[in-house]
Structure 1
């Protein structure tokens, strides 16, 4: 009987997919049609909700052990980095290759790459060229072939292949479908950092390989890299031009990671430092364009009487010159760095600032103290009692991620829910215990990171997470955990801060300060970015709240006068961006 080592396939192809029913059949068929017969295909389902898994299962039934089906626990969405890592850990082949579910291999793709690796045992990586494939759809732009940053036929010693790619104007790091590498080379690497859950995770892996292992570039174009609006490559083009978009933040994070990686292998030359600085400045400089959306609002949406004063204020803001714009770029880049803060930094910050004693004259921990905190909360979130029907959760299991002082936990408990609260900060949990004790409410309270929670799948009916994602070190991980912990048909309620809000504008004009804007990882979201973050859920209803109409003091009175009769116009510009999401049955 052959050993398991003898039964190992020559090459493992890893295909990650999510809601890819439209294209996955063609992608799998292109692997099945390879002239090299000794392969296995790993199909990694990243939380699909369409027919993609059915198509994958049908291929598995036809091909048997050559096609293997993988998914995350509970069928959860974990993002592209976690899914590639799952495929890499599970692969058995001597060589590894990727094919995304919307791309296609030519029949000689595996044979040609494997032959190069077999002919040179010291070779770690083979790079081909790929067709940027538009013509699959009628009326699309012409196809084009990648290159020529790297010279075909040349064997590059590390890190020359990567440096040539980075420093060639207009060149791109090769696509995943055009690279094959030895399994042993991967085993020497760390997993792809899972914070790269939607952009750049493939480039992180490819950069690591090209920094460390000899690479051969071949002339052959043996993969078709499909371009369509839902693909990452095609989709990034417009996103890169949107100020503060998810793609811009992802690129800033990738550039920061790349700087550290280059420094770690001792090849951070002055030329590369200049290139990295220029790229980072280009990403940060997109923030300058964000004022244009507000100028369009002033020109087209505001009543005629308000356009002149608002327009003048915007022009004064814009006219503060290059120094102001440079400061904004630095601030945006520093916020991006803060967004990658450690759990320890976030925990320390909130342990110091969770309790604002200025909100109450009552002794800390007393009934009057908590009543003052609650009154302040309801002034800030005057929509809360209308938006959340606390009584509807009687008899249900409710988890609050980021419970803070426990004010909403008590509301759920008083309504008859079985409540559990989680917070990263121990001082927050002390306050929450005191709040529950004063109210006579029962709650389980746990100190934990919201992206790594201890309960089994499908433990709760409601996950409640207001104002946490803007500060979480791993917001996508928090959303994935919420999805995992919900029972089928369960509800999640999230709140983030609205990038296109009246408060953002007021803060930029110097009229107010945003609370906790100095916190590690503080970020704001557009509706598009928020929707992308909530991808694990199949049904999300989004709305905005917290308009200036309810603010206190002289500024609040002025805001109410200015905003009188403008509620329909201001509706989308509330500071709080809310989403009510449902997990599929």
Structure 2
């Protein structure tokens, strides 16, 4: 295996060295690509030092050297990757020694296009633990049991009961499958760009379970995590989810191979979040419109969930 590890770097000068060195411990890793995204801290200099210190570390920026966000930065990393497999790592997270134990075996089967595993939690300080333990606790982010690849897309999009989640840090993708089956990689979304990408990835590629009952990578939690602002409702999560599901809805209804029942479910999810975030009068107006023009959505039960807070 020749693995390219793609690491977007923004405001992570304190953590990126640990991320890089956690990836370099594997002989299967042929390169670590750092995409410095006009970070406001000293991450640019740290990236330069790491690239000088380690032969496998590549350091790049966007052509205009401006900030473009995590999604476009990952796209730039993929564009510059030379490995046969792509993995991702956030600059404040890190890999564990068992990161590629399952992948080395599973990818011997050419039908396997992606492998996912479990993600643990590491608190960088007692202050961070005190602030965010109620959000993350010591939970393992994982898919709860082994599923056939055809069940992954319905599971991630909440069509199949309690499924669990796939995270980028615990995902490995066959690059040839990614580039041949997905015309659009990460979209330039401010929030949930990874979730939107994973929805589409699980639809187009055959994703298989790796190690699910223990972590193969760790989420680093500190006071400056962007995701913690959402999880702790500093940023209203219902608004960001409306934007996410609107994006998924637009994609699903343009995808000619998408099953009709999948489209209806995705539309229901989008409208549920949109209505939940609307004023009372707008809720009534929207529900009346759906009752008159979109009975399929009503019959699927949108009225049962759109009044509770998210």
Aligned counterparts, 1:93-108, within 5 A: 93-108=83-98
Aligned counterparts, 1:58-77, within 5 A: 58-64=49-55, 66-77=56-67
Do the aligned residues in 2 keep the contact of 1:109 with 1:223 (CA within 8 Å)?
yes
Once the two structures are superposed, residues 52-100 of structure 1 have per-residue CA deviations (whole angstroms, 9 ceiling, x without a partner) of 1221111111112x11011012421011221111011110100000000
Do the aligned residues in 2 keep the contact of 1:262 with 1:268 (CA within 8 Å)?
no
Q: What is aligned with 2:48?
A: 57
Whether 1:87 and 2:80 are equivalent positions in the alignment is: no
Once the two structures are superposed, residues 291-319 of structure 1 have per-residue CA deviations (whole angstroms, 9 ceiling, x without a partner) of xxxxxxxxxxxxxxxxxxxxxxxxxxxxx
Once the two structures are superposed, residues 514-555 of structure 1 have per-residue CA deviations (whole angstroms, 9 ceiling, x without a partner) of xxxxxxxxxxxxxxxxxxxxxxxxxxxxxxxxxxxxxxxxxx
Q: Distance in 2 between matches of 1:170 and 1:330?
A: 31
Q: Distance in 1 between matches of 2:175 and 2:46?
A: 28
Q: What is aligned with 1:147?
A: 142
Aligned with 2:111: secondary structure? Answer: coil
Q: What is aligned with 2:225?
A: 231
With normalisation by structure 1, the TM-score equals 0.43
Do the aligned residues in 1 keep the contact of 2:119 with 2:141 (CA within 8 Å)?
yes
Q: Distance in 2 between matches of 1:123 and 1:271?
A: 24
Once the two structures are superposed, residues 203-246 of structure 1 have per-residue CA deviations (whole angstroms, 9 ceiling, x without a partner) of 2322222112221112252011123453243221244873xxxx
Aligned counterparts, 1:400-415, within 5 A: none
Once the two structures are superposed, residues 420-475 of structure 1 have per-residue CA deviations (whole angstroms, 9 ceiling, x without a partner) of xxxxxxxxxxxxxxxxxxxxxxxxxxxxxxxxxxxxxxxxxxxxxxxxxxxxxxxx
Q: What is aligned with 1:192?
A: 185
Whether 1:14 and 2:14 are equivalent positions in the alignment is: no
Once the two structures are superposed, residues 551-584 of structure 1 have per-residue CA deviations (whole angstroms, 9 ceiling, x without a partner) of xxxxxxxxxxxxxxxxxxxxxxxxxxxxxxxxxx
Q: What is aligned with 1:48?
A: 39
Q: Distance in 2 between matches of 1:73 and 1:330?
A: 49
May I ask how many residue pairs the two structures share in their alignment?
277
Aligned with 1:223: secondary structure? Answer: strand
Aligned with 2:229: secondary structure? Answer: helix
For residues 122 and 171 of structure 1, do their structure 2 counterparts lie closer, same or farther at Cα, with a shift above 3 Å needed? closer
Aligned with 1:109: secondary structure? Answer: coil
Q: Distance in 2 between matches of 1:228 and 1:325?
A: 38
Q: Per chain length, whose mean CA-contact separation is higher, i.e. which structure has more relative contact order (CA < 8 Å, sep 6+)?
A: 2
Do the aligned residues in 2 keep the contact of 1:129 with 1:146 (CA within 8 Å)?
yes
Gaps of 5+ in 1: 1-8, 289-321, 332-585
Q: What is aligned with 2:21?
A: 29
For residues 221 and 271 of structure 1, do their structure 2 counterparts lie closer, same or farther at Cα, with a shift above 3 Å needed? same
Whether 1:178 and 2:170 are equivalent positions in the alignment is: yes
Q: Distance in 1 between matches of 2:207 and 2:78?
A: 20
Give the CA RMSD over aligned residues. Answer: 2.8
Whether 1:285 and 2:276 are equivalent positions in the alignment is: yes
Deviation at 1:46, TM superposition (A): 0.8
Aligned counterparts, 1:491-502, within 5 A: none
For residues 105 and 275 of structure 1, do their structure 2 counterparts lie closer, same or farther at Cα, with a shift above 3 Å needed? same
Aligned counterparts, 1:198-237, within 5 A: 198-218=190-210, 219=212, 220-237=214-231
Q: Distance in 2 between matches of 1:195 and 1:326?
A: 33
Aligned counterparts, 1:42-441, within 5 A: 42-64=33-55, 66-117=56-107, 119-131=108-120, 133-138=121-126, 140=129, 141=133, 142-149=137-144, 151-152=145-146, 154=147, 156-158=148-150, 160-167=151-158, 168=160, 173-188=165-180, 189-192=182-185, 194-196=187-189, 198-218=190-210, 219=212, 220-239=214-233, 242=236, 248-263=238-253, 264=255, 266-270=257-261, 273-274=264-265, 276-288=267-279, 322-327=280-285
For residues 271 and 102 of structure 1, do their structure 2 counterparts lie closer, same or farther at Cα, with a shift above 3 Å needed? same
Q: Distance in 1 between matches of 2:98 and 2:31?
A: 16
Q: Distance in 1 between matches of 2:164 and 2:284?
A: 28
Q: Distance in 2 between matches of 1:87 and 1:330?
A: 47
Deviation at 1:280, TM superposition (A): 3.1
Q: Distance in 2 between matches of 1:173 and 1:257?
A: 19
Q: Distance in 1 between matches of 2:288 and 2:198?
A: 29
Do the aligned residues in 2 keep the contact of 1:85 with 1:191 (CA within 8 Å)?
no
Deviation at 1:262, TM superposition (A): 3.4
